[in-house]
């Protein structure tokens, strides 16, 4: 499983990619050249399933840009729809999790109420949560490689670090150094 920009992890952990989790779909499909390099990447070509870490409402009722200086010219839902078209045209399975998956994920992090609208959660967190919820512990060992808790300033990084630390302490996941 890889997250967001598949080329960023090239050479860190092999080339196999079964699941690619995308969060910031606007950056990946915003420009033709970015979309082309994304579709041509080794990780995308290898991935059987693309999971979009975005709430389904962002497709139905896209919110306006959060920052006036945002480089994106359209709403988030436009990029989600564009990504679905690109990924589907490439013959890949596209999955958007149900709303409760996101609500429960925020709750696991302790991000509730109005904080849910102020903070965002990374594609990495939702991808790890997805893996833990779909891969039986008796059959799968979940190890993280290259996960850095860096990126968008609105992400709830301290909450995500605590959550991962708790999962490591419980033996459910481990880190590759």
Q: Is 96 helix (H, G, I), strand (E, B) or coil?
A: strand
Looking at residue 10, its pLDDT comes to: 60
The structure's pTM equals: 0.78
Looking at residue 13, its pLDDT comes to: 66
Looking at residue 12, its pLDDT comes to: 64
Render each residue's pLDDT in the chain as its tens digit; 177 residues.
888 766 655 666 677 888 888 875 555 555 566 777 788 888 888 898 998 887 777 666 545 444 433 444 455 567 778 888 888 899 999 988 888 998 899 999 988 877 777 777 888 899 999 999 988 888 888 888 877 777 777 788 889 999 999 999 999 999 876
Residue 57 CA, chain-centre distance (Å), reads 16
Partners of 96 in the β-ladder: 52
Per the CB < 8 A criterion, the answer to whether 124 and 147 are in contact is yes
| Eight-class DSSP state of 23 | S
Pairing of strands 93-96, 49-52: parallel
Residues 6 or more apart whose Cβ sits within 8 Å of residue 76: 26, 54, 58, 62, 63
**Could you tell me the two tokens for 91?**
């013959």
């Amino acid at each position: 499983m890889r997250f967001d920009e598949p080329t960023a992890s090239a050479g860190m952990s092999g080339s196999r990619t079964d699941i690619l989790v995308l969060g910031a779909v606007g950056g990946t499909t915003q420009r033709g050249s970015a979309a082309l390099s994304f579709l041509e990447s080794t990780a995308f070509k290898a991935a059987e399933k693309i999971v979009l870490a975005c709430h389904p409402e962002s497709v139905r009722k896209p919110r306006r840009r959060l920052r006036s200086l945002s480089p994106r010219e359209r709403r988030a839902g436009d990029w989600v729809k564009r990504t679905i078209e690109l990924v589907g045209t490439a013959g890949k399975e596209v999955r958007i999790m149900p709303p409760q998956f996101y609500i429960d994920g925020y709750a696991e992090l302790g991000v509730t109420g109005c904080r849910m609208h102020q903070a965002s959660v990374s594609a990495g967190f939702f991808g790890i949560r997805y893996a833990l919820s779909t891969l039986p512990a008796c059959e799968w060992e979940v190890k993280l490689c290259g996960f850095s808790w860096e990126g968008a300033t609105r992400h709830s990084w301290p909450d995500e670090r605590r959550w991962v630390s708790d999962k490591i302490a419980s033996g459910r996941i481990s880190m590759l150094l």
